[in-house]
Structure formats: structure tokens, C-alpha cells
Chains A and B, each alone.
Chain A
Amino acid sequence: MLIKKFKFFFFKKFFLNQKTKSFILKSSLNKNYSIISACSLKLPFMSFFCAFGIKISMNIFWLVMMLASMLVLLIINPSAMLSEMIGASTGALELCIELCAVYVVWLGFIELIDASGLSNKLAKFLRPAIKKIFKVDNEETQKLIALNISANMLGVGNAATPMGIRAMQALDDKSGKANFAIIMLIVINATSIQLLPTTVIGLRASAGSANPADIILPTVIVTITTTVMGILLVHGIERLRQKLKGRKKK
């Protein structure tokens, strides 16, 4: 009962806007959920289903993941919890040290690209497309986005990360909300326009494949399709939101 109450509080506080709140309150009063299904099933799924109605943030996702797994662990293996967390953060530290070494190389090269004026040329080349897709006018920002996307295309995601972070900083309007260009950059990075999946090819070669590069063609086809789909979807949703906003004002 206590957990149920907590659950409702949790939902009200973090998940719901007014419309969906009344709907979920009604529907979940009808059914009796067990504790485990509540913590492991309902929360993550609800967050997916209501994704379009509710303003979703990393805070919610992290909270759901943590809470669900901690509640399950409490029942099956409480002693593993802390050691597992520390193990994971040790892994993160190792990853960061590795990343640091990688970034030294990439940031060094990127500075060279920048200083030699190549990045400006690249940005000029990609500018019409970036302007149309991201609706960004600032030249510095366009340059960062161009570098981020071209690093992704070459399959060096590690070089794309520092550029992506800087581009996000340039796009941030300090309102705490993601604007159109930020969402677009996330979606484009998520579909990863990768023309050369270098890491995967390397792994396949070392696993003894007869022709490790024969996955390039399907990868390129899929990656271009999903990227185009992502761009169209974001544009479509943005247009819909503008319409809804316009209606509310009237």
C-alpha cells in the first residue's frame, strides 16, 4: 500500500501533465499491480508511451532506471548493489582515461584543422544544408556542427564528441529547454550518419571474416535512410508544435 502511494506521488510529481494524470489515475485504480511489475514494468514503459505528451528529461530516465533496478535488487541480491555501483564507476573511470588519451590526439588534429582554415572551408561547403536542416545562422555554430557531422561520417565518434559538446554549448539558449537545433543535433547523432564503420570492420576482420568490408553498403543505406527519416520527423513534429502553440494563443 505504501509503495502504491509512493508510486502515485512519483507519477504525479515527475511524469504527468494534467491530461494524462487523470487518465492514469483512473486506469491504475482499476487494476492491482504487484510490486515487481510496478517497479520493473510500468515505470519504464509508461515513460515510453507518454513520451510525446510529457516533457521528458534525462532526470526521469535515470531515476526510472535506478529505482527499478534498485527495487528488484533489494529483493534478489541486496549485497551486490553497492559493489556493482562502484564497479561501474571504476569502469567509467577507466573509460575516461582511455577517452582522455583519444581526445588528446583528436583535439590536437581538430585544432590543426581549425587553424589551417580547413574547418571554415568545410563549413562553407556544408552551410546550405546545415542552414536548412538546423535553421542556425551563426557561422561559428555552423562550423562546429559541420565538424561534428563530418567526424561522424568518417566513423570516428570519439572525435565527434568534443565538437558536439561545443556545438551544444553554442546552441544553448540558457532557458533549460532544448530548442529545435539541439533536438536535431541529438537525433542526427543518434542515427549516426556513418559512411565508414571503421570499428565494426576491424572487429569483423579480427574475427576471421572472408570479406569484412561487405557490410559497408547495407550500413550506408540504413544510416542514410534513418537520418533522412529523423530529419523529416523532427521537422514535422516541430511544425505540429508551432501549430498547437498558435492555437493556444488564439
Chain B
Amino acid sequence: MSAYILPVLFILLFAYCIYKRINTYDHFVKGAKGAIKLVVDIFPFIASIMIAVALLRVSGITTWLTEVLSPIFNALGIPPELTELVLLRPFTGSGSYALLEDVLTTYGADSYIARCACVIMGCSETIFYVATVYLSQTKVKKLFYAIPVALLCSLVGTILACLLCKVM
């Protein structure tokens, strides 16, 4: 069912463009032109955050943090198997998707842990990545409370996700 939504929306968009008598090709090309410049602009930001995350992982700080935080997370109702996923989720999209695939194959796609992991992934975002990339083209340096609030909401969402998966 969900596979149909985007294609149908695209076709409706084209139909609307024809109705409005817009040259779809011209406009598509015009929009696509911006892609390379955008990627060139955000590349250094993506690279620096990925370097930091890679170093964190290879230095063993993440595994150490996982061990330390597992009991705390467990008390909050988050299965200890998911601690690393929860920790890495704010930093790296591709890394956390790799972890999710791991969880899906190890515990089975319909197990409680895998369902929890899926809901957590669905309702959280790569906070640090979003903050750096979104602000990369602005002069904003001071974020005040944005990141702590975002992290707090994410944590509450994670706890709620684990609770809901037990019930539903």
C-alpha cells in the first residue's frame, strides 16, 4: 500500500502541471541544476561529522558508553540490545540503518526488539547531522537550547516506542 503513495503523488503532480500549462522539462532541469552546488556546499560538514563519529567508534568510546548506559536504559524500559542504536542514531543515518539491519537479521523482523528498533528509527532523526547540514549555509553559530531539547524529545520518544511495542 505505502509503495503506491509516492508514485501516485508524482503522477498527480504531472497532471496538475499539464493542467496549469507548465513546461515540466524546463522546470525539472532548472531545479535539478541546484543539486551539485548544494552537495558541494554541504560536503565538508557531512565529512567532518562522519570523521568524528568514526573516531568515536574506533576509539571504543561508543562501546564503553554502551556498557555504561545499558543499565540506565534498561531501567527506562529500553532493551539493552538497542543501546548502541539509540546512542548512534542522533549522529549517523547510514550507521544506524546498518545497525537496524543487524538487529532485524539477528532477532527476526517480527520480534519485540526488532519492532522497537523500527519504531525508534521511524520516529527519530539524525539530530547532529540535521543541525550541521541545515545551518551550514547560515552564519548561525550559537544554538542555545536547541540540541538538548531535541535530544530530550528523542529520548522520550524512544521510551514511548518501547512501551507501545509491548502493548501493540
**Interface residues in chain A, defined as those with a beta carbon under 8 Å from any beta carbon in chain B:** 40, 48, 51-52, 55-59, 61-62, 65-66, 68-70, 72-73, 76-77, 80-81, 84-85, 87-89, 91-93, 95-97, 99-100, 103-105, 107-118, 154, 156-157, 161-162, 164-165, 168-169, 171-172, 174-178, 182-183, 185-187, 189-192, 194, 196-201, 203-204, 207-219, 221-223, 225-227, 229-230, 233-234, 237
Contact A233 B28 (CB under 8 A): no
In the complex, A111 Cα to B17 Cα: how many Å? Answer: 11
Chain A residues closer than 8 Å to B5, beta-carbon distance: 154, 196
In the complex, A213 Cα to B119 Cα: how many Å? Answer: 11
Number of B residues, CB within 8 Å of A: 95
Contact A116 B118 (CB under 8 A): no
Chain A residues closer than 8 Å to B141, beta-carbon distance: 57-59, 176-177
Take A186-B134, A207-B104, A237-B149 as given contacts and tell me if A104 and B32 are in contact as well, using a CB distance cutoff of 8 Å.
yes
In the complex, A210 Cα to B130 Cα: how many Å? Answer: 33
Contact B118 A187 (CB under 8 A): no
In the complex, A40 Cα to B63 Cα: how many Å? Answer: 12
Would you give the shortest CB distance from B150 to chain A, in whole angstroms? 4
In the complex, A76 Cα to B13 Cα: how many Å? Answer: 56
Within 8 Å by CB of B138, from A84, A172, A192, lies A172
The residues in B between 19 and 76 inclusive whose CB is less than 8 angstroms from any CB of A are 20, 22, 24, 27-32, 34-36, 38-39, 42-43, 46-56, 58-61, 64
Would you give the shortest CB distance from A115 to chain B, in whole angstroms? 5
Cβ proximity bits B128-168 to A, threshold 8 Å, 1 near / 0 not: 10111111111111111111111111101100110011001
Would you give the shortest CB distance from B1 to chain A, in whole angstroms? 7
